[in-house]
Amino acid sequence: MGFLVLLLIVWSSGTPGDAHSLSYNFNIDPQPRPGQPWCEVQGQVDGEVFLSYDCGHAKIIFTSPLGEEVKTTKAWETQIKTLGDIRDQLRDFTLEKPMVTDPLTLQARMTCRCEDDRHISGSWQFGLNGQMSLHFDSENGHWRVDHPGGRWMKEKWENDRAVTEFLKKVSMGDCRAWLQAFMVRWEKMLKTSGDGAPTKPLICALLASGLSLLGCL
């Protein structure tokens, strides 16, 4: 057991050069199959899923201790509201391509990253029908086409100030605040586990979910 406690301490300290991220993957399907949601979001910390959100019916499933820990925070409340705002924006995006015979399924990924020097950056990726094709750098406002399917989106959105400002705000403002708030809760979870011998399920869940987030505090 002493070895496991030591392992927790090593993971919580982080390692030089580590970067940590908070991401939200959206899938908007205007014509879902029967029984399937038209809007889904997965929240990830360092690539590990901590929540699954049916954003069409506001149904949340927590998939790690992190989600359960932060659901009573003010940051959590603002997160759910903002995810709804993003959902509404993305739903409109699916209707914008001209001459579409079949409904488009839109994928979007919002990411904010905390580097080891505490610098936080933000970005977006967009795709249609499973093919990620467009990248937006929230820091410099630059759009990059990664696949020909993203060219029409770039042409429409890069000169739309309202769109670019919205994307910057939620990735560099809201997402940044959530990342910082959630990392504080991770630290409290570690301190709580130090009051007694950590249980094996808790240790496994914490390590799998990326405890080295604490390096960005």
Domain containing residue 52: CATH number:
3.30.500.10
Confidence (pLDDT) at 1: 41
Residues 181, 185, 190: CA angle, nearest 5 degrees = 150
CA–CA distance, 29 with 39 (Å, rounded to integer)? 6
Residue 118 lies in a domain: yes
- If one counts every other C-beta atom within 10 angstroms of the C-beta of residue 196, the result is 7
10 lies in some domain: no
Please report the pLDDT score of residue 199 as a whole number: 38
Domains contained in the chain, number: 1
What does 42-85 look like in DSSP terms, one character per residue?
A: EEEETTEEEEEEETTTTEEEE-SHHHHHHTTSHHHHHHHHHHHH
Domain region containing 185: 22-93+105-216
Flag residues of the chain having pLDDT under 50.
1-17, 99, 195-215
In this structure, is residue 98 part of a structural domain?
Answer: no
CB 43 within 8 A of CB 24: yes
pLDDT at 145: 96
12 located within any domain: no
Helices 74-93/175-193 angle, 10° precision: 140
The answer to whether position 206 is within a domain reads yes
In a domain, 17, yes or no: no
Assigned domain for 122 exists: yes
Rounded to whole angstroms, what are the CA distances from 30 to 33, 104, 106, 107?
10, 7, 9, 12
Model pLDDT, residue 156 = 85
